[in-house]
Amino acid sequence: MLYADLHIHTKYSHGNNTPAEMYAKACSLGLRLVGFTEHSPRPKGFDYTHEYRDALTAMLPTYVREVCALRDNPQKGANQEICQVLFGMEMDWLEDEEDFARASAKAFDFDYLLGSVHFIGHWGFDDGVDPWLTASQEQCETWYEDYFTAWEAMICSGLYAIAAHPDLIKIFSVDQFHIWLQKPQAQAQVGHALDCLRKQGMAMEISSAGLRKRCHEIYPCEAIMAMAASREIPITFASDAHGVNDIAYGFDILERYAARFGYREHCAFQHGKTRTFPFGE
Ligand SMILES: [Zn+2]
Ligand SMILES: [Zn+2]
C-alpha cells in the first residue's frame, strides 16, 4: 500500500469536491500524505472548450485558505495515523509565457509545484479526441516532438518539483505513440529531457489517471519508466483525482508497476525539503 497521493484537484477548477471533502476521503482511506494541486489559472488565449478560468481565479484565495487550514489542523485517519496535507498547485508550461509562470509560482508559499504540459502552442491537446481521430502517424509524431520539447523546457525552467503525467500526449493516440517511441530519435529526445530532470533534482510522477482515460495506460509508459529507472530518477505517486472516488485510484497497480523497474521508494516535497518513503509507507 502506498500512503501518499500528491496530485488531486477540487471543485474550484473542474473537480467535484471541496478540499475538506477530498481530505475526509483521504483520511478514510488511511493515507498519510495528501498533496492538493489545483490548477493554476492560465492566461487568456490558452482555453479549453469548458473553460473554468474565471471561476477558478475568483475562488483561488478560498482554495488557498481552505487547503492551508487543513494543513495546519491535520486529522487522524482510519488507521489512527495523522494524514498530513501539502499545499501545492499544478502549473502549466505555456509557450512564451515563462514570466507568467514565474509570477504564479511566487504568488503563494507552496510546498511544491507540479509542472505540466497540456498545450502545444495554444492548443489544449487533451481537450478532446476529435483532432486525433483523423491525424496521420506523421502528424502525431510532430505533436509528440513538440510536446517533449515543451516538457524539457518546463523541466529546465527550475520552477517545479515534480514532472506530472510525463507522457500525457499519448492520451488519444496510444498506438501511434508507441510506434514513435521505438524510434532512436524519439528515445534520444525523451532521454535528454530525463537527463535534465535528474540534473534539476526533480521527481517524475507515476499517475493512475491514464488508466481512466482513452489510452488505458499508466503515465508514463514502460519504456519511459525504464529510462527513468536507469537514471535513478526519484518518483512520486498520483491519482490526479478530480473527485473523492478517484483518490489513490489504482495505487496497488502503481506500486507493483514501479517495483518491476526496481523502484523501492517514493518521495514528497515539503517546503523545498525532499522526504523519501519506502514502499509500504
Ligand atoms: Zn494535468
Ligand atoms: Zn491534474
What's the 207 CA to ligand 2 centre distance in angstroms?
10
Could you give the C-alpha distances from 263 to 145, 203, 218, in angstroms and in order?
28, 13, 16
What's the 79 CA to ligand 1 centre distance in angstroms?
30
The answer to whether the CB of 1 falls within 8 A of the CB of 255 is yes
What's the 115 CA to ligand 2 centre distance in angstroms?
10
Q: How far apart are CA 184 and CA 276, in angstroms?
A: 33
- Bridge-based pairing of strands 4-8 and 33-39 is parallel
What local confidence, expressed as pLDDT, does residue 255 receive?
96
Which residues are paired to 4 by β-bridges? 33
What's the 30 CA to ligand 2 centre distance in angstroms?
22
What's the 164 CA to ligand 1 centre distance in angstroms?
7
Residues with CB under 5 A from ligand 2 (ion): 90, 240
Q: What average pLDDT does this structure show over 223-235? A: 98
The answer to whether the CB of 89 falls within 8 A of the CB of 110 is yes
Closest CA to 244 of 13, 25, 3, 18: 25
What local confidence, expressed as pLDDT, does residue 124 receive?
97
Q: Does residue 33 surpass a pLDDT of 80?
A: yes
Domain ranges of the chain: 4-278
CATH 3.30.460.80 assigned to 4-278: no
pTM of the full predicted structure? 0.97
Question: Vertex 196, ends 191 and 201: CA angle to 5°?
Answer: 125
pLDDT tens for residues 135-159? 999 999 999 999 999 999 999 999 9
Q: What average pLDDT does this structure show over 63-73? A: 97
What local confidence, expressed as pLDDT, does residue 280 receive?
78
Q: What average pLDDT does this structure show over 83-105? A: 95
Q: What average pLDDT does this structure show over 115-132? A: 97
Q: What average pLDDT does this structure show over 105-124? A: 96
What local confidence, expressed as pLDDT, does residue 272 receive?
81
Q: Does residue 1 surpass a pLDDT of 80?
A: no
Nearest ligand, CA of residue 39? 2
User: How many C-beta neighbours within 10 Å does residue 271 have?
Assistant: 10
Nearest ligand, CA of residue 154? 1
- Mean per-residue pLDDT over the chain, rounded: 96
Which residues are paired to 269 by β-bridges? 274
Q: Does residue 281 surpass a pLDDT of 80?
A: no
Residues with CB under 5 A from ligand 1 (ion): 116
Q: How far apart are CA 117 and CA 121, in angstroms?
A: 10
